[in-house]
Chains A and B, each alone.
Chain A
Amino acid sequence: GQQVMQIPQYQHVQEGEDFTTYCNSSTTLSNIQWYKQRPGGHPVFLIQLVKSGEVKKQKRLTFQFGEAKKNSSLHITATQTTDVGTYFCAGRGQGGKLIFGQGTELSVKP
Chain B
Amino acid sequence: DAGVTQSPTHLIKTRGQQVTLRCSPKSGHDTVSWYQQALGQGPQFIFQYYEEEERQRGNFPDRFSGHQFPNYSSELNVNALLLGDSALYLCASSLRTGEAGNQPQHFGDGTRLSIL
Contacts and interface: CB of A to CB of B under 8 A. Distances in A.
Interface of A: 1, 6, 30-31, 33, 35, 41-45, 48, 50, 88, 90, 92-93, 95-103
B101 A42 contact: no
Interface residues on chain B, size class: 20 to 34
Interface of B: 33, 35, 41-45, 48, 56, 58-59, 90, 99-102, 104-110
Contacts, number: 61
A90 B100 CA distance: 13
A100 to B, nearest CB: 4
B112 to A, nearest CB: 10
A106 to B, nearest CB: 14
B100 A96 contact: yes
Given A43-B90, A97-B45, 20 more contacts: A1-B59, A6-B42, A30-B101, A30-B102, A33-B104, A35-B105, A41-B109, A42-B108, A44-B107, A45-B105, A45-B106, A48-B104, A88-B42, A96-B102, A97-B48, A98-B45, A100-B35, A102-B41, A103-B41, A103-B42
